[in-house]
Amino acid sequence: MTGLRAFTGALTFAVLAAATFPALAEGDPAQGETLFRPCRACHMIGDGAVHRVGPHLNGIVDRAIGASPGYQFSDALANAGAEGRVWTEGSLDRYMAGPSDYFPGTRMVFRGVRSEQDRQHLIAYMLAAGGRSEAGAELAEVAVAPEIAAILEISGDVPYGEYLSSECTACHRDSGGSDIPSIRGLAPSVFIAGMVAYRDGSREHQVMNTVARRLGDEELAALAAYFAVAH
Ligand code: HEC
Ligand code: HEC
């Protein structure tokens, strides 16, 4: 009996400890690297990482939320950072578990990582690959992939963009939705990075892959210019 009680006690303690200190030390970076594969559709991390659809994640741990220079965050994340909130292992864990549960209004369209163990592996990987905030600050030099930079240099023709946009607004409503994000007011760098990722297939979504592959650089620049402005 005593043995059983001691055992139960230890179990309770372990559960409490896990709940209070999620994601410390226990994650395995190698497993995290594999789990990070779906994140790579939108995020880069490590040497030479730049913003894509999502911000690069170098130095994410201990950095202010939604504050990576050169990336236009949703108000949800930007306001949290402005209030002085920082990404810790705990807040990363909760964000990955359910991005829009933790930050309603976040622009990260991702269903979340259900397993706490997997989230710990992911955090361990992000620490190993991108360092903590201080080390990451040196890597955080903002750079844009050449293909995206080339399109950003084209000055987009807004009326042409408006003409092309009727195909998009059939799905993309200004209010957004749980499955279809609002694209109104997206920074051109974010918009174009997203469309290029659909066009080259590094971000997979059948409809958007088809839509993006029909559009040339001029069209993307025009659409980016049109959608950047709130109408
Ligand atoms: C479909 C694209 C997409 C996928 C997949 C995705 N993210 Fe994101 N992520 C974003 C976007 C967009 C943002 C910016 C959100 C905002 O501004 O609200 C973001 C933001 C973040 C942030 C906050 C960055 C900061 O500087 O504050 C973290 C951390 C993050 N993502 C981690 C992950 C991880 C880990 C995965 C995989 C488990 C993942 N994301 C998968 C698009 C994505
Ligand atoms: C049939 C519906 C449909 C049409 C038409 C459509 N989209 Fe999309 N779009 C989606 C869905 C669904 C997603 C989210 C896909 C995902 O999870 O990657 C999306 C994602 C996007 C994103 C990424 C947004 C983000 O926050 O990551 C951009 C940019 C975008 N679409 C632009 C366009 C443009 C420009 C057009 C018109 C040329 C267009 N879409 C037409 C359904 C559509």
pLDDT in tens, 57-72: 999 998 889 989 889 9
Q: Is the separation of the CB atoms in 192 and 223 below 8 Å?
A: no
pLDDT band at 31 (very low <50, low <70, confident <90, very high): very high
Residue 92 tokens, joined: 């990363």
Asked if 112 contacts 97 with a C-beta cutoff of 8 angstroms, the reply is yes
Q: Distance of alpha carbon 138 from its chain centroid, rounded?
A: 20
Q: What is the pLDDT of residue 81?
A: 84
- Residue 79 banded pLDDT, cuts 50, 70, 90: confident
Which ligand 1 atom is the nearest neighbour of the CA of 77? Answer: 18
* Residue 92 alpha carbon to ligand 2 centre in Å: 26
**Closest to 87 in 3D by CA, of 132, 149, 56, 46:** 132
Tell me how far apart the alpha carbons of residues 128 and 147 are, in angstroms, rounded to a whole number. Answer: 28
Q: What is the spatial distance between Cα 24 and Cα 123, in angstroms, rounded to a whole number? A: 9
pLDDT score at 92: 95
Write down the pLDDT at residue 186: 81
Mean pLDDT of 170-198: 83
The answer to whether residue 46 scores a pLDDT higher than 50 is: yes
Give the distance, in angstroms, between the CA of residue 179 and the centroid of all CA atoms in the same chain.
16
Task: Say how far apart CA 56 and CA 103 lie, in whole Å.
Answer: 19
pLDDT digits (tens, 9 = 90+) for 164-177: 999 999 899 877 56
Of residues 74, 123, 68, the one with CA closest to residue 94: 123
Nearest CA to ligand 1 atom 41: 39
Phi-psi group of 153: left, alpha or beta (phi > 0 → left; psi -120 to 50 → alpha; rest → beta): alpha
110-132 pLDDT tens trace: 889 999 999 999 999 999 998 87
pLDDT at 138: 38
Q: Can you read off the two tokens belonging to residue 5?
A: 């009680």
**Residues with beta carbon inside 6 Å of ligand 2?**
53, 107, 109, 167-168, 170-172, 179-181, 183, 191, 194-195, 203, 205, 207-208, 211, 223
Which atom from ligand 2 is nearest to the alpha carbon of 195? 29
pLDDT band at residue 224, thresholds of 50, 70 and 90? very high
d(CA 75, CA 83): 12
Mean pLDDT of the chain: 83
Distance 162 CA to ligand 2 centre (A): 16
For ligand 1, whether the C-beta of 88 sits within 6 Å is: no
Greater model confidence, 161 or 132: 161
Nearest to 205 by CA among 179, 229, 224, 225: 179
Q: Of 213 and 153, which is predicted with more confidence?
A: 213
Residue with more model confidence, 181 or 6: 181
pLDDT of 2:
41
